[in-house]
Amino acid sequence: MAEVRLEKLVKSYGKVGVVHGIDLTIAHNEFVVLVGPSGCGKSTTLRMIAGLEEISGGTISIGDRVVNDLAPRERNISMVFQNYALYPHMTVKENLGFSLKIAKQDTATIEKRVAEAAEILGLTPLLERTPGELSGGQRQRVAMGRAIVRHPDVFLFDEPLSNLDAKLRGQMRVEIKKLHQKVKTTIVYVTHDQVEAMTLADRIVIMKDGHIEQVGTPAEVFEKPKNTFVASFIGSPPMNLLDATVATEAGRKIAKLNDGVTLALPAAAAEKVTDGQTVTIGFRAEAFSPVGYGLYGDNEVATIERTIILPEPLGTETLLYTELGGKEVQGKMLNPRFVKPGEQLTFNLDLSRLHVFDKASGMSVLV
C-alpha cells in the first residue's frame, strides 16, 4: 500500500517561499494530477516527493514511512522527466535494466522484467537501439518503461508530454492512461496543461503561487470551481467572468452587469448574496448559445441579442466571440451553421449554469 501524504509541506529558497504549507493525501493506486501555471510550485512539490529537492518544512510520507530525510533511491519511487533523461550511452535495454542492475538483481530477473516492460510499451523491436536513434514518442515510452521495470510504490511524472507535438501528445496521453490501468500504482503527475489534467486524473490538484486552490475530481473542479482562478484555469475556452452587482427585482436576486443586462441568479447562489454586493458572474461558453443551437432542456434562460465579433469554427462546434457586460465573451454553437462577423444572433444564457463568485475574495459564494 503506497499512500502519499503531504503535511504542511513548505519549500523556500532563502527568504523566497515557493510552496507554502500544502496538505494533500494521495490514495493507494490513485492518479493525481498537479496542475497550475508555471511558477505555482507543482514541479517543486513533485521533486520534493522524489527527494531531489530538500524539504524546508512539514512532512512527506510514502506508505507508512516518513521519507523527509531519505535519499531518492531509498523511497522506492520512479520518475519520468520532462526531457526523458535517458542515458545516452546505453541502449534501450540497458536503460530499462539500469535500476535493476544497480539493485544487484540477477541477470535472469533483469532480462525478464525488461522484456515485460518492453512488451507492455511496445519497445521490444527497439531494445538494441540507443536513445539518439529513437523518435520523441519512442523516447517517451522508454522513459516510462524505465519507470515501470522497478515496480515502484509511486510513479512521478514531471510534465512528460510537453516536449511532444500536439498529435503525439494526444496518443501518449491515452497510453499513460492505459498504462495506469495495466500497472496499478499510485501516480503523481505534474502538468500545466489542463486538458491533460482533466483527461488523466482521478483527482486534480490545482495550484497557484505555492498554494492549493482546489482538490477534486475532474467533474468537481469543472462544475464547481471554488474560485475565479480555478474557473478560468480549468476548461477550454476559459470560463467567461463578468463583474456585476447584486440587487433584488420582483422578489428575486438578480445580478446587474456593467452594461445593464440583468441575470436572475440560481436559487442556491441567491441565498448567499446580499443586495449591493459586487460579484463576479461566471459561465462557460456552452451555457451561452444561439437559440436552437444549444442544450438547455427545461432550464431557465436569459435571452440576449448580440452582435458576433468573430466566429471560430472548430468543426463539430463553433466558438462565437461577442460582447457582454462590457467584456468580450465566448459562446458556443453546437451543430453549427455558417456565421458571419457582424451578424446579429439571439443567445440563450442558461441561468442554472451561472457561477457566482464574491468579487473581493474571488471565492465562490457557495463555498
Partner 1 sequence: MERSWQRWLIRFGVFIVMAIICVPGLWIVMTAFRDNVEVMARPPVWIPERWTLDNFRAILGLSENQQGIPVVRYFLNSVVISVTSTVLAVLIGMMGGYAFARYRFKGKNVAFLWLMLSRTVPGISLSLPVFMIWSRVGLIDTDFGVILVYLALNIPFTIWLIDGFFRQIPLSLSEAAQVDGCTRWQAFWKIEFPLAKSGIASAGIFAFLTSWNEFALASQLTRTTASKTLPVGLMDFTAQFTVDWTGMCAMAVIIIVPALILTFIVQKHLIAGLTFGGVKG
146 binds partner 1 (CB under 8 A): yes
User: Across the strands, what pairs with 186?
Assistant: 154
| Strand order across the 301-307 sheet | 288-290, 344-350, 301-307
Going residue by residue from 25 to 64, which x/- string records binding to partner 1, judged by CB under 8 A? -------------------------xxx------------
Is 42 or 203 the residue whose CB approaches partner 1 more closely? Answer: 42
Q: How far is the CB of 12 from partner 1 (least distance, A)?
A: 15
Q: Tell me the residue type at 116.
A: E
Backbone angles phi, psi at 23, to 5 degrees: -120, 130
- Give the burial class of 160: count Cβ atoms within 10 A of its Cβ; 0-12 exposed, 13-18 middle, 19 or more buried: buried
247 binds partner 1 (CB under 8 A): no
| Strand order across the 57-62 sheet | 16-26, 4-13, 57-62, 65-66
81 binds partner 1 (CB under 8 A): yes
Q: How far is the CB of 143 from partner 1 (least distance, A)?
A: 8
3-state secondary structure at position 163: coil
Is 78 or 330 the residue whose CB approaches partner 1 more closely? Answer: 78
121 binds partner 1 (CB under 8 A): no
User: Across the strands, what pairs with 332?
Assistant: 319
362 binds partner 1 (CB under 8 A): no
Residue 261's H or E segment, with its range, is none
The residue range among 87-95, 121-129, 189-197, 339-347 that interacts with partner 1, by the rule CB under 8 A, is: 87-95
Q: How far is the CB of 53 from partner 1 (least distance, A)?
A: 10
* Radius of gyration (C-alpha) of the chain in whole angstroms: 24
Is 61 or 82 the residue whose CB approaches partner 1 more closely? Answer: 82
79 binds partner 1 (CB under 8 A): yes
321 binds partner 1 (CB under 8 A): no
- For 23, 265, 283, 346, 349, the CA distances from 353, given in Å and listed in that order, are 31, 10, 7, 18, 8
**C-alpha grid cell, residue 241:** 467572468
Going residue by residue from 88 to 107, which x/- string records binding to partner 1, judged by CB under 8 A? xx--------xx--xx----
Is 81 or 321 the residue whose CB approaches partner 1 more closely? Answer: 81
Q: Provide the binding-site residues for partner 1, judged by CB under 8 A.
A: 50-52, 71-73, 77-79, 81-83, 85, 87-89, 98-99, 102-103, 146, 150
